[in-house]
A and B are shown apart, each in its own frame.
Chain A
Amino acid sequence: NAGVMQNPRHLVRRRGQEARLRCSPMKGHSHVYWYRQLPEEGLKFMVYLQKENIIDESGMPKERFSAEFPKEGPSILRIQQVVRGDSAAYFCASSLNRLGIINEQFFGPGTRLTVL
């Protein structure tokens, strides 16, 4: 029973390049969340997606960042024209959506982005 999968685990980009981070949720989960962890900090929510829909992007920077969760394939977090401040660990989590219940989020191993 595979958990949440993220790739790549480590990604190095130069300033101005694009970063694409992938997340495959747990089997049966249709809800995906992206979080960012800056060094020495806790995780901060970025975006919540269901298949083909962005439900809540209140934590996403307005520029350069985008996310999608297509009908087929993994969820993608895309960062255009990366800057050094984008260097962080990016975690994906997935959950079921059982109404009226606090649904646990299962986390992937994270992608560590380093911008040179």
Chain B
Amino acid sequence: AQKITQTQPGMFVQEKEAVTLDCTYDTSDPSYGLFWYKQPSSGEMIFLIYQGSYDQQNATEGRYSLNFQKARKSANLVISASQLGDSAMYFCAMREITGNQFYFGTGTSLTVIP
């Protein structure tokens, strides 16, 4: 089974609007962390936001927030007030406390329309 599933290959959003990028995960480990990364066309991986499995509140970092629904095993990224510079690939990732690696989803390509 896939550890991380991103079902939206591509998304479009109007500038200044909010957009939600979906991510579901699969783990039996009680302790894990969820991460979102942005990969612009230049190729580097830019860390955006982190959510721990025991965190009571949803993580927020500026215009980024993580809608964490533990029972549904989802960790959707919400980008508010989209900007043209937000156009990029977005990857959801998970690390289990018992494991060594990050598991990445296949990514969502976000295009912000002026």
Q: Which residues of chain A have a CB within 8 Å of any CB of chain B? A: 33, 35, 41-45, 48, 55-56, 59, 89, 91, 93, 100-107, 109-110, 112
Contact = CB atoms under 8 A, between A and B. Distances in A.
Given A41-B106, A42-B105, A102 B97 contact: yes
Nearest to A107: B45
A9 to B, nearest CB: 9
Interface residues of B, number: 24
A89 B43 CA distance: 9
A94 B37 CA distance: 15
B25 to A, nearest CB: 13
B105 to A, nearest CB: 5
Nearest to A103: B95
Nearest to B96: A102
Contacts of A109: 43-44
Contacts of A112: 43
Count chain A CB atoms within 10 A of each CB in B32, B44, B100, B104 and give the residue with the most.
B100
Q: In terms of DSSP, what is the predominant structure of the interface of chain B?
A: strand
Contact of B35 (A41, A104, A110): A104
A29 B8 CA distance: 35
A11 to B, nearest CB: 14
A2 B37 CA distance: 19
A106 B47 CA distance: 8
B101 interface: yes
Contacts of B104: 35, 42-44
Contacts of A105: 95, 102
B101 A102 contact: no
Nearest to A33: B101
B51 to A, nearest CB: 10
A18 B102 CA distance: 27
Q: Chain B CB within 10 Å — which of A44, A48, A89, A107 has the most?
A: A107
